[in-house]
Amino acid sequence: MGDEPIIVADTAHGPARIFAAGLATGTALLAIAVFCAVNGYGGLALMVLIAAAIGLGLVYRSMPASVPRLPSFHRTSPNPDRDAFRTGAAALIDAARRRRKVPTLLRLDIDRVRAISGPQGREAHDLALRHVAALLDDELPRSALVARLEGDRFAAVMAFAPGDAARVERIVDRLAVRLVQPIRRDGMEVQASVTFGLARDTGQESLDTLLRQADMALTASAQGTGGQPWFTPEIERALGDRAAFVAALRAGIERGEIVPHFDPQVDLGNGRLVGFEVLARWHHPERGILPTREFLGIAEETGLICDLSLAVMRQAFAAARDWDPSLKLAINLSATQFQDAWLAQKIIKILTETGFPAHRVEVEITERALLADLPLAQSIVASLKNQGIGLALDDFGTGYSSLAHLRALPFDRIKIDRTYVQAMGADAERAAIVQAIVQLGDSLNLPTTAEGVTDADLAERLRVLGCVQAQGALYGEPMALPDIRRLLAERHLLSRAVVTPGPGLTSPRLAG
């Protein structure tokens, strides 16, 4: 790993801040201790002397004189600061440039800690922090300067020969391989998920610039850009565009630009319209109508999905109050929303304020919503079911497709993913999977809905198999509210009854 020593500093530790202020030698430490003693700070003087003895006698190893020495700590603290790391890193960068080396900054984030067995919470988290610090100590060059800066974020500064970026990449690869392994210690087993970001000096960047660039590379890596997590100008431009898109989406939600479109759902037995799946569309002021796929991912990553979903839900419920009582609305809820313990109460509040009957609502969730916190998901679903709201398992056939998940919650329906439905004619294996899902639904007394039905032959084949409902291009594309109202009027499915809205609505019905 190299001949020079690694200096690992946890900047949360108090003495590290003193050492980092320029006390690079034992003489300087002694001077501070004498100053404290002369001025009546005997206790502090003793602490500095003890720290100096320990630091110089046990922790310090040989190192270029131009790099400030920091004590080696692997402790965790809730309130670290950057002072110690900044002092040492700036000096290391200057020294590397003088030796015609390329300073490189590595950022590492612990994204998530999952306790597989043993204690949960802080103990598992601290174990993960100690493990990451130990691996950095083991894998990074001995000349590197490493610190835990804030929370779950680590940083390291290293110097390499020009053109030796592959060495840095090999280090990151080794760290990545070792960090995906479960951590077992003291009766605990913990799994940590980490992300890396790298930035190299071109001879002009300040430490702040390198930190910012490594942060951007880390962000891009977390978004799944693939490849080695080096900063590039393209990453900066992409993140700038993304930030502008997020700001526009947030403003669009507030201005009511995200509106519901309605995808018809039909009974395969008699061809009768039974309801609609509510889908979000963004009426963008410059780009026109954007489909869900263009903004849903970003909405989930940024947490905007919660406000977006509730806004679309409110519009859909208000619009459908005067529709025929036989028509139901299917609402998609994301896995991110199921991390909100108040989700059920928010939905019930919207139902109350819009006057829309709960028994005409069916929420659709994917299996991913069950993975993060199953007890919380069960609590949310129980509250919704108590109001009469139905529950459908969406996109069944993809992901885990576990029977255990079907039994974990009181589902009322299974929805078969469109990728299987549309491949039935050309792929015998996928056709067999669709048949198996329908039979599974029958055995559990759960009706099935097929997504992505494009032609009458496919609809007939699904009907013969026993599938109960279908939706897709055969029955029309998702429609805006004015088009839906015209369709319902033609079929005499608009109710004459006027429902008095609850608080928050100013008109008895929302016309298209």
Do residues 305 and 299 make contact, with C-beta atoms less than 8 angstroms apart? yes
CA distances from 47 to 24, 32, 76 (A): 17, 11, 21
Rounded to whole angstroms, the Cα distance separating 193 from 125 reads 12
Angle separating helix axes 374-386 and 343-354, nearest 10 degrees: 20
Rounded to whole angstroms, the Cα distance separating 186 from 458 reads 57
CA distances from 306 to 159, 346, 429 (A): 44, 10, 37
Q: Burial of 463 by CB count in 10 Å (0-12 exposed, 13-18 middle, 19+ buried)?
A: middle
Number of other CB atoms surrounding residue 464 within 10 Å: 9
H helix or E strand, kind and range, residue 290:
strand 288-290
- Of 169, 451, 477, 490, the catalytic one is 451
Beta bridge partners, 329, equal 276, 361
451 is catalytic: yes
Rounding to the nearest 10 degrees, give the CA dihedral for residues 80, 81, 83, 86. Answer: 90
Cα angle vertex 120, ends 115, 125, to 5°? 75
Locate 184 and state its tokens.
């077992």
Q: Give the DSSP letter of residue 316.
A: H
Give the pairing type, strands 413-416 and 448-450: parallel
Beta bridge partners, 415, equal 449
Rounded to whole angstroms, the Cα distance separating 394 from 404 reads 15
Beta bridge partners, 416, equal 396, 450
Length of the chain, in residues: 512
Cα angle vertex 380, ends 358, 451, to 5°? 65
Number of other CB atoms surrounding residue 472 within 10 Å: 22
Rounded to whole angstroms, the Cα distance separating 176 from 324 reads 56
For the chain, the C-alpha Rg in angstroms (whole number) is: 30
Give the pairing type, strands 328-332 and 273-284: parallel
CA distances from 411 to 270, 359, 367, 385, 457 (A): 24, 14, 12, 10, 29
Place of tokens 């993304």: 242
Rounded to whole angstroms, the Cα distance separating 362 from 327 reads 11
Reduced to 3 states, what is the DSSP secondary structure of residue 378? helix
Do residues 18 and 33 make contact, with C-beta atoms less than 8 angstroms apart? no
- Active site amino acids: 451
